[in-house]
Amino acid sequence: MQKQISNLDKLTLSNDFLFKHVMLRKRICKHILEELLHTEIADITYLEAEQTIDVYPDSHGIRLDVRIADAANTHYNLEMQVKNPVNRATGKFLLPKRTRYYQAMLDTDMLQKGQDYDELSPTYIIFFCLFDFFQDSQRIYTFKKRCLENMNIELADEAVIMFLNTLGTKGDVSPDIQSLFDYINSNTITSNFTREVADTIVEIKNDKKVRDAYMTYEMRMKDLRDEAHAEGKAEGRAEGKAEGLAEGKAKEKTATAKRLLSMGLSVEDIAKATSLSVEQVEAIKAE
């Protein structure tokens, strides 16, 4: 138990668990949104922190860190992204299509049966990234749909995706947002706002309910890691078994071909009898 508590004490704002709990402090979260979007927000409501959306039983569910709606019914999804995920098989980065899927699932979850499309709320999907995905040093990358033939024409679907690059050096952000980036990067307090964030983190870490929740979270993550490890081992055993069977069958065919060759059968007949190619039988004969 002591190890779990010690782990919580070491967490920084870049950790999903701690990020979620800090964003659950309404004043902090509301201030971040206002500073990012350069607008006043009357109030925010938490729809569900760390929500899992499974629109269809056989669909790929998504777990959202923090999902919020404001008084104007604009919906926000805030995510902390420490690493740049990549598909090891294809080498392709996953973040762009991940945002596409998040947007689709949010919209599907939001629109109830019988509602018109214009009842979809405006949405912002906001990723706090500890890396520069687009390699252009922008502090913020904001994406909306525009016409390629005339970039002045915007598709007004009210869906916005923002990548916040905490390492960025280009583009203007408010002093509080820059100080938040600095705090995420180096845990350095450079403003009254990040002092408030740091004090909030201390308060969160001393909250018994949070400590208990973190131990549950850690056990759940361990179970998931163990399951993934077990699946990987099972797949490895299955692959090894399949390879072993294939190798065994190949050796058996070779041995059969050698016996038939010693009996004087033709290469063509042996190929038919063993399902080997004529070339393979000839290679065995030449050995």
Q: What is the pLDDT along the chain (287 residues), one digit of tens a residue?
A: 444 445 889 999 999 899 999 999 999 999 999 999 999 999 999 986 544 544 444 444 455 678 999 999 999 999 999 999 898 889 999 999 999 999 998 898 888 767 899 899 999 999 999 999 999 999 999 999 999 999 999 999 999 999 999 999 999 999 999 999 999 999 999 999 999 999 999 999 999 999 988 888 788 777 666 765 666 566 656 666 666 666 777 888 888 878 777 776 776 777 777 888 877 877 887 77
Tokens 């706002």 belong to which residue? 193
Ranges of H-type helices in 11-58: 16-23, 26-37
Q: What pLDDT does residue 250 have?
A: 80
Tell me the whole-structure pTM to 2 decimals.
Answer: 0.72
Task: For residue 243, count CB atoms less than 10 angstroms from its CB and return exposed for 0-12, middle for 13-18, buried for 19 or more.
Answer: exposed
Tell me which residue has tokens 């500073």: 35
pLDDT recorded at residue 281: 77
**Tokens 């945002």 — which residue?**
99
The pLDDT of residue 229 is: 64
Do the beta carbons of residue 94 and residue 73 sit within 8 Å?
no
Query: CA of 273: how far to CAs of 116, 254, 267, 269, 276, in Å?
Result: 67, 11, 10, 6, 8
d(CA 106, CA 90): 27
- The per-residue pLDDT for 61 is 47
Closest CA to 160 of 36, 21, 18: 36
The pLDDT value given to residue 34: 98
Interatomic CA distance for residues 47 and 75, integer angstroms: 9
Coil, helix or strand for 38?
Answer: coil
First to last CA, the chain: 65
Is residue 248 within 8 A of residue 241, CB to CB? The reply is no
DSSP 139: S
Token digits for 125? 């999907």
Give CA–CA dist 249/197, Å, rounded. 65
CA distances from 101 to 36, 60, 83, 87, 117 (A): 23, 9, 18, 16, 18
Q: What gap in Å lies between CA 65 and CA 277, rounded to an integer?
A: 57
pLDDT of residue 109: 84
Whole-angstrom Cα distance, residue 33 to residue 271? 72
CA distance 128 to 163: 6
Q: What pLDDT score does 151 carry?
A: 95
Q: Which of 186, 209, 208 is nearest to 198 (CA)?
A: 186
